[in-house]
Structure 1
């Protein structure tokens, strides 16, 4: 089972691929008010890993290896991980802190009904392996009985509606991955920004992406064979007769679902997603599903309008509901009910689940320790409750103040950069600067916390706790429909090792957990901080102006604020950047898709440029000190490349290239090729492999 962060956001532009199974949150400590200030020009520590560099490699031939080569040679990926790197190092620190907090709560024996009690009971129930073994499939029996009771199209539609959930993965934002046939996302409307609407998104697959079903790649063919064997094994474990034949039928249905789905690049086109359908007209737009039964069961029958994110996919999926044999649908639903909650079923189910999703698809050879999985699940469903405790103890007000100053400096540098664009018209510049000036920046934690009073957590009921948490989250999202959007809403729990830009809110979140060394060290040299966390800050700012973010204005409305000439220039530059990434071959025959990763690559280039300008400005006209023989710009760029150090198993690397909108870290480090200052800092010349002619270096903002 994939345990993903809670808060859904297909319009969230996140920094990186999911590297965590646990996300951490934050509480507002006293005295956190601040005003921007100039960062220090130098500090006691260098802030970069000198021992991890390989200076036998020329920076201009392989900058990633130059900055990370020794680290790459000596680093082993943990057996229970698909990858490792800086993000994992920071995540491990947060995970250890989270464990300490939970263990401390267990010793305190908190009061019944409190958030602390719910944390303790949820975690303990997950850890109760003997109880889980004794319960067998009994906790799932209500769901299985409901599936058995499906007799016709209307009852099938009712069941599908009753299991609709708000479970978009915000890390892999535009590629909606859920085992439910459809998913719900709630946010401001694209046309009517005054209220929240429900967005329906495609789902229904047991493997991570449609390409796993459609690609001719030999690895994908092997994955398909392994998936069919896994379906059969899980059904056999549950005592299902004719498991092999039913597994083939389930797979064949999922293949049809994959063929119906829209590809990633298409789902990233916001204009193709803007399809408001009156609820009363769904039967006309997408015949097949009994939509009255579906929406009544989902609690959405009173809504006037829902937005179809992938309209053609929804039409085709609806037709499949009506056209495919009812017994196959029932077997499909039974398999997915068991599969989705396998980690909370007896060990035989969990082991089968790990063998496919962990070993076959990601290359990991050992499951994560039980306590780590328990933490991930507890944090998924009680994230704000844990987070308030986390930040009280681990996120100082001084760090918040210092990071807010960096954000202010980088935003100013971005606005200055807009002024320097010779190709952009004055009217477009004015709107761009207004958008940058009004961005809402959240550092560390939200202003308001989730209320868990109505979420029932029972001792000894691990699977029931997760089922109720899923329903609780769905009710929370559904309750926002028709209300005015909350401009300050966070879409990541602030203990997440990540960051995010939210175009519909013109806002950014920089969670507490990523504001840790080596990304951010309050005692480190300014060059290292600006090269690492500064580039991340710049990245999120730039997302407001990438190929998706640039479609939204300062108020978060879908609004074309570009002159035709400016838009054409922007597209030409973006196309050149896409072509640059198309050329990177990650595995033999497997290239990065420059269009699929375009938004992230634009944010990397523009964010790095803004961070460098802000670093220079932070020096107050003084020369940067040389530290360990390295200039300020050298340290800045090395810190950036080291922030992207990563080592990934081949299966997981392939999965990222196929199904994620982020290029792998090793190639994101090569963003430096587009900045003139990198060439000067490392004396890169035309005879070196990474050299780009000045006219081929892409600058968008």
Structure 2
């Protein structure tokens, strides 16, 4: 398991660096290059082409005043009638598009699988046989835990704790889970080189608070976790399940106690700690660093970045405090739980019962074909992605997106020029970074090579292990090589977007470029409110509380004056206070500090997208379409992309762990700070969305 820390639109990425994608974008512009100007085009063209408003009128709830809750006004009709299917925990703009993408990928897989006499080793054979291997439940049931038995035997034979910690590395190479997550990423303070990193890992429950919180919900989850482990042991035919469950909870609780919390791990400054490899024994003497790094192929590096040093030293203490047998039990559990969805139907079902049903409230397991499609897409993402792009992504979409990106870039530059809280010196550095943003749209120019991956129709676990080994080998091969600026970290069929600070890039996969985010049949206002705000959001991550620590070359350095940084921090504190006040349930509020980066992204995205939309009109009035002005369509387009309905268990899990606020507050939070929204809808004191002018936050 490797960790890549980048800022995404919908979810944080804890992903393999090598399990994703790549594109060649334009060369970064020099610092003195002016920000591109907005393309000139007649505002009335939309009327002549009979473009639609792009607004989902059937979703509106006219019983809600837009001044009181714009999110409910735009989406409330849908919220009243929408039903969450039993096999899902949420529905909404993002999640429905993800289902559509999965249906599209299913059609690709079925077409490939219908072809007879596929050449062994071909991409087509790999797609077809990986899907067949996942869908062949009869064979999986016959095999039982035989596919993981060699690993279980190896764990049982580990002779001492030095062998245990060396095995941490071997397990990760094979796709398993251990307390340490090793990964390769550019050095945040020297973005021209790849460096090795270690991130905290090793817990079954979502976050450390799940192990210590004494509220009834968490106490019940821990009790059910113990029951789940015991059931898994029984289903696997492993002995002493009851005692193993107690041991595993105790050991994971000890590991969790050393974990940094969800707010601390967001801090780019605190998580950059470069150590000489020769000094690691001083930091954590109970870890066999030579054996661990050799197993991972990272033993030739002189230095390594430890993201959470106190966790690593604390883990060393935990290793010393628990017996060899306890650690074998822990590693056995990790192998079983990480493999469960690819083993027998009974183990797969029990795995679902705890992790999806208990933790997230999902009533029914997804049909196996859906999980099979996800398995193929996750393992052979760019093989499927090539076909997906040909079928579902038109050149016009990329052209329109490129125009939108440059218009947003221009608007961002104009906004920086107009800031009253930032000095000229910091503005120069900010505009240099803006000019060097590297946009990637749709899909890679250079596709990932899977030629060395062997896939067999009767060896699902083997397929997964070989895929993990290839991914790891490709990642380690980057060491000592130039930075691959064309690499992608999402597949084209992914409904999401991200900003990567060490490459200063904003990335928009093909699958998100669909309504309600991006509508080729709609007039520009709704697209600026939708995908325009998404573009601005990702640009905003370059200037959020963490992204602003990185310069245009992707290096973490202080490019702010002391006064400007103080003003920026104060604005962030005001945004934290605003979101802390949003109540999700009677006993649960949004965590403004955890969600600060994403909230800055949303506010920046909406603000800059609106500015870009107005600039694109070239001083003319926007057409009225479906009875709505351009400004109304913009704000409604923004609000409808955050439409979501989620099971309570899943929502509580997300609020505890996710750096994104719930969709409701992403919509009203940003708009409550925009004077243009107040003007459009006549928001005044006494309205529920009203914030006094002195409390409204304008950052970018």
Fold conserved (TM > 0.5)? yes
Query: How big is the shift at 1:9?
Result: 5.3
Equivalent position of 2:315 in the other structure: 317
Equivalent position of 2:134 in the other structure: 126
Equivalent position of 2:74 in the other structure: 67
Give the SS at the match of 1:271. coil
Distance in 1, matches of 2:41 and 2:321, equals 63
Q: Residues 339-372 of structure 1: CA distance to partner in whole angstroms, max 9, x if unpaired?
A: 1111111111011000001110110111111111
Query: How big is the shift at 1:664?
Result: 0.8
Give the SS at the match of 1:195. strand
2:399 to 398, 401, 421: 401
Q: Indicate whether 1:148 and 2:163 are aligned.
A: no
Equivalent position of 1:160 in the other structure: 168
Equivalent position of 2:105 in the other structure: 98
Distance in 1, matches of 2:326 and 2:120, equals 44
Distance in 1, matches of 2:153 and 2:267, equals 40
Distance in 2, matches of 1:256 and 1:224, equals 14
Distance in 1, matches of 2:110 and 2:189, equals 48
Equivalent position of 1:623 in the other structure: 621
Query: How big is the shift at 1:216?
Result: 2.5
Give the SS at the match of 1:204. coil
Give yes or no for contact 2:3–2:181 (8 Å, CA) kept in 1.
no
Equivalent position of 1:673 in the other structure: 672
Query: How big is the shift at 1:299?
Result: 1.9
Give yes or no for contact 1:102–1:120 (8 Å, CA) kept in 2.
yes
Query: How big is the shift at 1:473?
Result: 1.1
Distance in 2, matches of 1:187 and 1:60, equals 45
Distance in 2, matches of 1:244 and 1:630, equals 64
Give yes or no for contact 1:531–1:608 (8 Å, CA) kept in 2.
yes
Which runs of structure 2 are paired with 1:567-586 in the superposition (5 Å)?
567-586=565-584
Give yes or no for contact 1:200–1:308 (8 Å, CA) kept in 2.
yes
Distance in 2, matches of 1:101 and 1:28, equals 22
Give the SS at the match of 1:586. strand
Give yes or no for contact 1:267–1:273 (8 Å, CA) kept in 2.
yes
Q: Give runs of ≥4 in structure 1 deviating > 3 Å.
A: 18-21, 24-29, 34-41
Distance in 1, matches of 2:95 and 2:265, equals 29
Give yes or no for contact 1:26–1:390 (8 Å, CA) kept in 2.
no
Which runs of structure 2 are paired with 1:327-406 in the superposition (5 Å)?
327-406=325-404
Give yes or no for contact 1:404–1:443 (8 Å, CA) kept in 2.
yes
Give the SS at the match of 1:442. strand
Distance in 2, matches of 1:247 and 1:332, equals 9
Which runs of structure 2 are paired with 1:367-516 in the superposition (5 Å)?
367-516=365-514
Query: How big is the shift at 1:485?
Result: 1.4
Q: Indicate whether 1:15 and 2:9 are aligned.
A: yes
Equivalent position of 1:58 in the other structure: 65
Give yes or no for contact 2:23–2:446 (8 Å, CA) kept in 1.
no
Distance in 2, matches of 1:359 and 1:40, equals 53
Q: List alignment gaps of at least 5 residues for structure 1.
A: 1-5, 168-177
Equivalent position of 1:173 in the other structure: none
Distance in 1, matches of 2:215 and 2:466, equals 40
Give yes or no for contact 2:408–2:609 (8 Å, CA) kept in 1.
yes
1:212 to 210, 213, 218: 210
Query: How big is the shift at 1:613?
Result: 0.5
Q: Indicate whether 1:699 and 2:698 are aligned.
A: yes
Query: How big is the shift at 1:129?
Result: 0.7
Give yes or no for contact 1:28–1:392 (8 Å, CA) kept in 2.
no
Mark the CA change 1:682 to 1:395 in structure 2 (over 3 Å): closer, same or farther. same
Give yes or no for contact 1:532–1:639 (8 Å, CA) kept in 2.
yes
Instruction: Give the total of aligned pairs.
Output: 679
Distance in 2, matches of 1:696 and 1:357, equals 41
1:249 to 247, 253, 272: 247
Give the SS at the match of 2:433. helix
Query: How big is the shift at 1:327?
Result: 0.9
Q: TM-score, normalised by structure 1?
A: 0.94
Which runs of structure 2 are paired with 1:559-598 in the superposition (5 Å)?
559-598=557-596
Task: Single out whichever of 312-321 and 418-427 deviates more from structure 2.
Answer: 312-321
Equivalent position of 2:27 in the other structure: none
Query: How big is the shift at 1:219?
Result: 1.4
Q: Residues 608-652 of structure 1: CA distance to partner in whole angstroms, max 9, x if unpaired?
A: 100001111111221012222221111111111110010000111
Mark the CA change 1:20 to 1:628 in structure 2 (over 3 Å): closer, same or farther. farther
Give yes or no for contact 1:25–1:511 (8 Å, CA) kept in 2.
no
Query: How big is the shift at 1:38?
Result: 4.8
Task: Single out whichever of 656-665 and 290-299 deviates more from structure 2.
Answer: 290-299
Give yes or no for contact 2:8–2:499 (8 Å, CA) kept in 1.
yes
Query: How big is the shift at 1:194?
Result: 2.4
Equivalent position of 1:139 in the other structure: 147
Give the SS at the match of 2:434. helix
Distance in 2, matches of 1:515 and 1:595, equals 30
Distance in 1, matches of 2:554 and 2:574, equals 27
Task: Single out whichever of 486-495 and 74-83 deviates more from structure 2.
Answer: 486-495
RMSD: 2.1
Query: How big is the shift at 1:507?
Result: 0.6
Distance in 2, matches of 1:591 and 1:553, equals 34
Equivalent position of 2:263 in the other structure: 265
Task: Single out whichever of 12-21 and 590-599 deviates more from structure 2.
Answer: 12-21
Q: List alignment gaps of at least 5 residues for structure 2.
A: 25-35
Q: Residues 547-584 of structure 1: CA distance to partner in whole angstroms, max 9, x if unpaired?
A: 01100001001111000000000000000001100111
Distance in 1, matches of 2:156 and 2:41, equals 64
Task: Single out whichever of 466-475 and 157-166 deviates more from structure 2.
Answer: 157-166
Distance in 2, matches of 1:295 and 1:502, equals 26
Distance in 2, matches of 1:619 and 1:92, equals 35
Equivalent position of 2:33 in the other structure: none
Task: Single out whichever of 445-454 and 41-50 deviates more from structure 2.
Answer: 41-50
Equivalent position of 1:171 in the other structure: none
Give the SS at the match of 1:164. helix
Mark the CA change 1:394 to 1:77 in structure 2 (over 3 Å): closer, same or farther. same
Query: How big is the shift at 1:19?
Result: 12
Query: How big is the shift at 1:419?
Result: 0.3
Task: Single out whichever of 152-161 and 564-573 deviates more from structure 2.
Answer: 152-161
Give yes or no for contact 1:25–1:495 (8 Å, CA) kept in 2.
no
Give yes or no for contact 1:25–1:390 (8 Å, CA) kept in 2.
no
Equivalent position of 1:689 in the other structure: 688
Task: Single out whichever of 268-277 and 63-72 deviates more from structure 2.
Answer: 268-277
Q: Residues 106-144 of structure 1: CA distance to partner in whole angstroms, max 9, x if unpaired?
A: 122332211111111111111111111111111101111
Distance in 1, matches of 2:431 and 2:87, equals 46
Query: How big is the shift at 1:28?
Result: 8.9
Task: Single out whichever of 477-486 and 669-678 deviates more from structure 2.
Answer: 477-486
Distance in 1, matches of 2:577 and 2:605, equals 19
